[in-house]
């Protein structure tokens, strides 16, 4: 049997979904290919093997990730793990570069990124909800990767609605500029301990001591606190403020798009939601506050890879 794989080579991370000959019926998530936050080698400790049904005729793939800065490592992994007659669906901005490193894999198909992401989102949702792919689904898809892209998914129609240059890359880049911390895992870990009010200007701060007309903890202006606290803002405060800003703006734009499209369901995907409890919590809270329902599929980082895999299987 020919092996099949979908590879989403994005601006920050390369995501791979593949079907092995073993015909696994469980989705396996092995994130062991990323360098550890201390920069030493691979972390093979995190593995996840949830059980479940195959999705829409697609057997459950194994999932893994590489840093996009290590394109050669991803190519080495493909050479070591996929036979040369494997059918590979490529998508994402770095797909062409990666494909050129693997000329011996001639059985390849290039899949447009937006189509792959939307198809993957539909399949992952169906899988995680334990059901079949519903034909009449209608939701706004917010893909929060390095940057953010918004789509409408309406059955087989999936137009792109727009995008913003604010996303996971902003979390890493801006926190790095503010306090020198650029390690995503470290940023996501300390952010819940931070205090945004050390950095942001809230409605409550403006109105104090009077009662504000809206919730006092709402942001009046990001990064606009006029006088920093006596002890100065700490790295965790910057991390919380940056994640807060990304969450607020992504949700605001997505909710407006959803209202314009006559739906209230927003599905948030992209690696930015992985292991980032503050971003997840704020996203859920703001979405609800704006009258919409948020979904953050557990495997949402792999939408592009699953969509590309689907294209490789179908062709
Ligand atoms: P892209 O497709 O553009 O590569 P992703 O959907 O993979 O984007 O999301 C990339 C973002 O995910 C990063 O900007 C960062 O905020 C976050 N992220 C999650 N895990 C990691 C990680 N291990 N290393 C770097 N960034 C990560
Ligand atoms: Mg992407």
What CATH number does the domain containing 95 carry?
3.30.420.40
Q: Is 204 in the pocket of ligand 1 (CB under 6 A)?
A: no
Same-domain status, 23 and 49: yes
Same-domain status, 39 and 127: yes
> Which atom of ligand 1 approaches the CA of 12 most closely?
4
Cα–Cα dist 165/264, whole Å: 23
So what's the pLDDT on residue 108? 97
The burial class, CB within 10 Å (0-12 / 13-18 / 19+), for 315 is exposed
Three-state DSSP at 285 gives: helix
So what's the pLDDT on residue 136? 77
So what's the pLDDT on residue 29? 55
Instruction: Measure the CA angle with vertex 175, ends 170 and 181; round to 5°.
Output: 130
Same-domain status, 175 and 263: yes
Same-domain status, 290 and 305: no
Same-domain status, 169 and 288: yes
Q: Choose which residue among 13, 68, 270, 273 to substitute to test ligand 1 binding: the one with the highest number of ligand atoms within 8 A of its C-beta.
A: 13
Smallest-distance ligand from the CA of 10: 1
Q: Which tokens belong to 70?
A: 């290590």
Task: Record the pTM.
Answer: 0.91
Same-domain status, 197 and 267: yes
So what's the pLDDT on residue 33? 52
Longest CA span, the chain: 71
Q: Is 7 in the pocket of ligand 1 (CB under 6 A)?
A: no
For the chain, the first-to-last Cα distance in angstroms comes to 15
Ranges of residues in the chain whose predicted pLDDT is under 50: 31-32, 35-53, 55-57
Strand (E) positions, 10-155?
A: 13-19, 28-30, 47-48, 62-67, 87-91, 108-110, 138-144, 148-154
134 Cβ neighbours under 8 A, 6+ residues apart: 126
Cα–Cα dist 60/18, whole Å: 9
So what's the pLDDT on residue 122? 95
Same-domain status, 291 and 304: no
So what's the pLDDT on residue 49? 36
Same-domain status, 167 and 287: yes
113 has catalytic annotation: yes
Same-domain status, 288 and 305: no
Three-state DSSP at 33 gives: coil
Q: Choose which residue among 12, 94, 113, 245 to substitute to test ligand 1 binding: the one with the highest number of ligand atoms within 8 A of its C-beta.
A: 12
Same-domain status, 32 and 67: yes
So what's the pLDDT on residue 106? 97
- φ/ψ of residue 299, rounded to 5: -100, 25
Query: Measured in angstroms, how far is the CA atom of residue 33 from the centroid of ligand 1?
Result: 14
Same-domain status, 126 and 249: no
Query: Measured in angstroms, how far is the CA atom of residue 207 from the centroid of ligand 1?
Result: 38
Query: Measured in angstroms, how far is the CA atom of residue 119 from the centroid of ligand 2?
Result: 13
Domain membership of residue 207 as a residue range: 162-295
């Amino acid at each position: 049997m020919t092996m099949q794989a979908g590879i989403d080579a994005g601006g920050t991370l390369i995501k791979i979904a593949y079907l092995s000959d073993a015909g696994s019926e469980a989705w396996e998530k092995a994130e062991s290919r990323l360098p550890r936050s201390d920069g030493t080698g691979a972390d093979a400790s995190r593995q996840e093997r949830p059980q479940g049904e195959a999705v829409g005729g697609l057997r459950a793939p194994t999932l893994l990730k590489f840093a996009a800065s290590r394109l050669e490592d991803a190519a080495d992994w493909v050479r070591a793990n996929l036979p040369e007659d494997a059918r590979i669906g490529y998508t994402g901005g770095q797909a062409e570069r990666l494909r050129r490193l693997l000329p011996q894999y001639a059985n390849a198909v290039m899949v447009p990124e937006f189509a792959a992401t939307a198809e993957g989102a539909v399949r992952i949702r169906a899988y995680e909800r334990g059901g079949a792919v519903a034909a009449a689904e209608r939701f706004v898809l917010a893909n929060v990767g390095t940057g953010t892209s918004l789509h409408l998914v309406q059955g087989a129609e999936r137009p792109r609605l727009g995008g913003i240059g604010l996303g996971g890359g902003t979390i890493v880049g801006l926190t790095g500029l503010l306090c020198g911390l650029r390690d995503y895992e470290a940023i996501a870990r300390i952010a819940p301990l931070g205090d945004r009010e050390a950095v942001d200007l809230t409605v409550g701060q403006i109105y104090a001591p009077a009662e504000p007309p809206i919730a006092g903890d709402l942001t009046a202006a990001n990064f606009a606190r006029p006088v920093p606290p006596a002890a100065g803002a700490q790295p965790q405060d910057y991390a919380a403020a940056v994640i807060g800003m990304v969450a607020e703006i992504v949700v605001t734009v997505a909710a407006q798009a959803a209202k314009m499209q006559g739906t209230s369901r927003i599905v948030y995907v992209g690696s930015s939601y992985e292991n980032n409890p503050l971003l997840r919590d704020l996203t859920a809270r703001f979405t609800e506050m704006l009258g919409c329902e948020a979904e953050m599929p557990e495997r949402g980082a792999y939408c592009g890879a699953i969509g590309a895999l689907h294209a490789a299987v179908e062709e």
